[in-house]
Structure 1
Amino acid sequence: MIGQRLEVRQGQGLVITPQLQQAIKLLQLSNLELDDFVEAELERNPLLQREEPEGETPEPVERVEATSDSEMSFGDGVGHESVSGMDAGSDDVYGDAAPGERTSDRMTDEAQPGLSDWSSAGKGGQMFEGNGERPDTHELTLWEHLQAQASSAGFSVADHGVAMTLIDATDEGGYLRGELSEFADRLGVSLERIEAVLAVCHGFEPTGIMARSVPECLKLQLIERNRFDPAMAALLDNLDLLARRDLAGLKRVCDVDGEDLTDMIAELKALTPRPGAGFGGEPAQTVAPDVHVRPDPAGGWRVELNADTLPRLLVDKRYHGLVQAGARSDTEKTFVADCAAQANWLVKSLDQRAKTILKVSSEIVRQQDAFLAFGVEFLRPLNLKTVADAIGMHESTVSRVTSNKYIATPRGVFELKFFFTAAIQSVDGASTHSAEAVRHRIKSMIDGEGLEGDVLSDDKIVEILKETGIDIARRTVAKYREALRIPSSVERRRMMKTA
């Protein structure tokens, strides 16, 4: 029989309030994007204002700073951290409290809007909008294109760090800016190693990328077309004569006749002097680091936020009282109440954002202290989970924090994601192996095939590696082999029979 009835049910669910969505969005913004966001909020909310320089703050105003004394220091091997303004009793607007302290009760729209586990809110550090659809309108930039090629070039952990540094020093036209000796000193590696990595990068697309001069850029393109010969080399060495239209001088230095010279000049005109100009994205802007790392006189490293990139906001309580007293209609009262709630929540979110960036950055520095002390060769395998577990946060939070954030170190300015490198798990799960060490072992095994008279398949390589304590999948072996430009076992066997 069909009828109606009332039931009372109790359940658990996740409600992400607009305030929490704002806090998540703030966390993944760069300092430039954050400044634009704050400017828009200042125009929209009359109760917010920027903090005036010391001594010029109008009174009475309740000062609620977006950052307090925020710095962290620790010594080598001690792991002790002290953070002023980050006590255990502070509110966690991102919901990353220890698992035993997280609430699992269903939240109302306004009740405790930051204590929920929002790990499923978006993926990969991206913020969802509306119904969850995220149209991909992003135009690939030159740096993203080069970074993707560097990731699949088969570099070691150290060489990948060198490549990323060189890519960051490439301008929007595609030219590498800076002396190689300076990069070598900064990264603590030899000049020969920098040159070797750059030689690999010169093979990236588009051809001619990361050249240090126009002649070198044109040379790389001619080499690809198999048109670089002594005559062309002489022409590239004397582009000033071409600019002055000194054809007689060019024929003399190139040792060619007029017809050949005309063909050579036509070939040069078909090349691209700015190989990076065809990519999207805005012109490169000077990076303002979010965090500074300095040697601590007492030992270890001192990590502190860059105060110049942190917006400092005030909530004007006096003006709030005046406007609230003058509000007559329900609409006006609601508007004033919403502005006050949004202002307080924004200041609180900015404060928590700063503390979270500092906490994540400090753990990264602790994990990669050998790199800071000795150079890129000592860059350790590191992933998001390791950092997240160490500081009691969710991986998605760490991913958002490391997106578009930069850290200034004695070895230069790096994006926080620079410090995350691949690792291979051991069979017993107790330790990890550097991906470069595993690649080197695979190459050594294949190099020894000719001596042993047997060709190793990818499956056989997996078995041998697992016997030595390295837990690796077959597809990973195939990926590393292809990155090392080593043919498959079938092709190697055919080559061996032919030889």
Structure 2
Amino acid sequence: MALGARLELRQGQGLVITPQLQQAIKLLQLSNLELEAFVEGELERNPLLQRDERESEPDRDEAPRESDDGVSEHLADHAAAADMDAAHDQASPGEHATGDAQEAQHAGGAVDWSKAGKGGSFEDTEDFEGRLTREKTLAEHLHDQLAVARLSPTQNAIAAILIDGVDDGGYLRIDLLETAERLGCELAPVEDVLTTLQGFEPTGVFARDVRECLMLQLKERDRCDPAMVALLDNLELLARRDMNALRRVCGVDDEDLRDMVAELRGLTPRPGAAFGGEPSQPVAPDVFVREGLGGLWHVELNTDTLPRLLIDQRYHARVAGGARTDQEKVFVSDCMASANWLVKSLDQRAKTILKVASEIVRQQDGFLAFGVEHLRPLNLKTVADAIGMHESTVSRVTSNKYIATPRGLFELKFFFTSSIASTSGGEAHSAESVRHKIKQLIDTERGERDVHSDDRIVEILKETGVDIARRTVAKYREAMRIPSSVERRRMLKEAV
């Protein structure tokens, strides 16, 4: 059989991810701080883009950008600095745009965010751009542990607020009762979540004072005996070096006291100090929710976090007319295409965030009105189907986006909770509401005969319309750090 070279033509279809489409997807999932940094870079790179500051500088349009004589020199400098290969890859803004987004602009190309009430979605593709690594902050370290802690949606919400209340030293600086009132729940679940968080690394984090911080570290070392507890209860005597008084209150001799003090000095009074990195920045909400008349909720974008850009059409006309070489002409054309696409992408991003947030608020109005125990079962598909978007789009929108509500500031992902089926075939029950019912049943136990086994709890819940398995009850009970029925009976017997 003879071997030879030949040329064949084949026709096929495939999805091409253009640079513009990649940019649109990237913008959709950026936080408002990351978006600001991205826009700053585009303003430096693209001479046709300007920040819209006309409210503070009303006469700005009257000032010339530069003399006509300098246009060619200006173009030559920018064209030489630009990466022309990357510029050639930029397609015209209309070729690959998807959805029914319309331009909502001022004169000159500035986006009017007040009109960003309706719009389509981005076509979804995987984002191939990685993120730069850097040293984690204490808050990021705690959130990473929270992500694998397998807490309930309600517990996650409480935990997120408690993490926000931790200072650089690792101490909790917010009041638990105020947090419970803000979330519309009892104090007990907040205290339960705090107990879980105090098991996070670094040991001692989430303590409310130095004594509790040292206590947590000693408990981990299994060194929290009565003498050591007495020493922690009298740290003011240690500060005054009153060793005689310390010996009396601790009930130890000189040698034991020296060992105890040495062990205490080996602990870390500021466990969070080991984490450096960037200074913490307050989270700015992307969306506001306010209660209106008749129990309606008003959802609006936080315009302070949205970049206001305009395309300088007059400057474009001047530099386009002054372009002399082919390189300069291509550079101007690419800058205009890139500027147009960025304006459209920012507009679409705002519309999509508002559309997703509005549907989430509609689904979770019970939480806003009555508190954390009224979270409804919700997943990405439910929201995506309701607003005509893809699940991956909703997922990107809800990442790193925050909503300010009368009950506090929450990440949009917080509102997605799992569900438990109904025995009657009706509306499903939120997993958190089922956990709350289990805890209520156990809290009513007053004697050995009142203790409910997991099987009995399953029966009681099924009588109320909750279809749940015994292993699920056990899992929820263990997550709430509630002992088994055998252990609870023993505890009640010992209490009597």
Question: For this structure pair, what is the TM-score category when the shorter chain's length is used for normalisation?
Answer: 0.7 to 0.9
Tell me whether 166-175 or 387-396 shows the greater mean CA deviation. 166-175
Instruction: Output the CA distance in 2 between the equivalents of 1:305 and 1:62.
Output: 22
Residue of structure 2 in register with 1:14 after alignment: 15
Residue of structure 1 in register with 2:128 after alignment: 128
Residue of structure 2 in register with 1:74 after alignment: none
Residue of structure 2 in register with 1:43 after alignment: 44
Name the amino acid aligned to 2:229: A
Q: How do 1:318-329 and structure 2 match up within 5 A? A: 318-329=314-325
Instruction: Return the offset for 1:273.
Output: 2.1
Indicate the RMSD between aligned Cα atoms, in angstroms.
Answer: 4.1
Tell me whether 475-484 or 205-214 shows the greater mean CA deviation. 475-484
Tell me whether 1:213 sits opposite 2:204 in the alignment: no
Q: How do 1:281-320 and structure 2 match up within 5 A? A: 282-320=278-316
2:223 to 227, 233, 239: 227
Instruction: Return the offset for 1:346.
Output: 0.7
TM-score using structure 1 length: 0.74
Instruction: Return the offset for 1:278.
Output: 4.4
Gaps of 5+ in 2: 64-105, 443-447, 488-496
Give the secondary structure class of the aligned counterpart of 2:47: coil
Instruction: Output the CA distance in 2 between the equivalents of 1:298 and 1:429.
Output: 31
Contact 1:222 1:228 in 2 (8 A): yes
Instruction: Output the CA distance in 1 between the equivalents of 2:387 and 2:232.
Output: 56
Residue of structure 2 in register with 1:115 after alignment: none
Instruction: Output the CA distance in 1 between the equivalents of 2:155 and 2:117.
Output: 37
Instruction: Output the CA distance in 1 between the equivalents of 2:250 and 2:148.
Output: 40
Residue of structure 2 in register with 1:344 after alignment: 340
Instruction: State percent identity of aligned pairs.
Output: 64
Q: Deviations over 1:61-105 (max 9, x none)?
A: 943233421xxxxxxxxxxxxxx4445xx6x5713xxxxxxxxxx
Residue of structure 2 in register with 1:81 after alignment: none
Give the secondary structure class of the aligned counterpart of 1:58: helix
Residue of structure 1 in register with 2:30 after alignment: 29
TM-score using structure 2 length: 0.74
Instruction: Output the CA distance in 1 between the equivalents of 2:343 and 2:374.
Output: 39
Residue of structure 1 in register with 2:383 after alignment: 387
Residue of structure 2 in register with 1:185 after alignment: 181
| Counterparts in 2 of 1:25 and 1:196: CA distance versus 1, 3 Å | same
Question: Paired residues, what number?
Answer: 432
| Counterparts in 2 of 1:485 and 1:240: CA distance versus 1, 3 Å | closer
Tell me whether 1:58 sits opposite 2:86 in the alignment: no
Residue of structure 2 in register with 1:414 after alignment: 410
Contact 1:206 1:276 in 2 (8 A): yes
Give the secondary structure class of the aligned counterpart of 1:276: helix
| Counterparts in 2 of 1:374 and 1:19: CA distance versus 1, 3 Å | same
Give the secondary structure class of the aligned counterpart of 1:292: strand
Instruction: Return the offset for 1:246.
Output: 4.5
Give the secondary structure class of the aligned counterpart of 1:64: coil
2:428 to 407, 432, 446: 432
Instruction: Output the CA distance in 2 between the equivalents of 1:24 and 1:471.
Output: 39
Residue of structure 2 in register with 1:76 after alignment: none
Instruction: Return the offset for 1:393.
Output: 0.9
Instruction: Return the offset for 1:300.
Output: 1.0
Contact 1:154 1:480 in 2 (8 A): no
| Counterparts in 2 of 1:32 and 1:155: CA distance versus 1, 3 Å | closer
Instruction: Output the CA distance in 1 between the equivalents of 2:432 and 2:371.
Output: 16
Q: Deviations over 1:162-196 (max 9, x none)?
A: 23322232234322121112102211122333223
Residue of structure 2 in register with 1:113 after alignment: none
Contact 1:172 1:283 in 2 (8 A): no
Instruction: Output the CA distance in 1 between the equivalents of 2:111 and 2:265.
Output: 55
Q: How do 1:237-256 and structure 2 match up within 5 A? A: 237-251=233-247, 253-256=249-252
Higher helix share: 2
Tell me whether 58-67 or 328-337 shows the greater mean CA deviation. 58-67
Instruction: Output the CA distance in 2 between the equivalents of 1:137 and 1:345.
Output: 29
Gaps of 5+ in 1: 70-83, 96-117, 493-499
Name the amino acid aligned to 1:204: F
Q: Deviations over 1:328-387 (max 9, x none)?
A: 111000000111111111111111111111111111111111111111111222111111
Instruction: Return the offset for 1:297.
Output: 3.1
| Counterparts in 2 of 1:430 and 1:136: CA distance versus 1, 3 Å | farther
Give the secondary structure class of the aligned counterpart of 1:227: coil
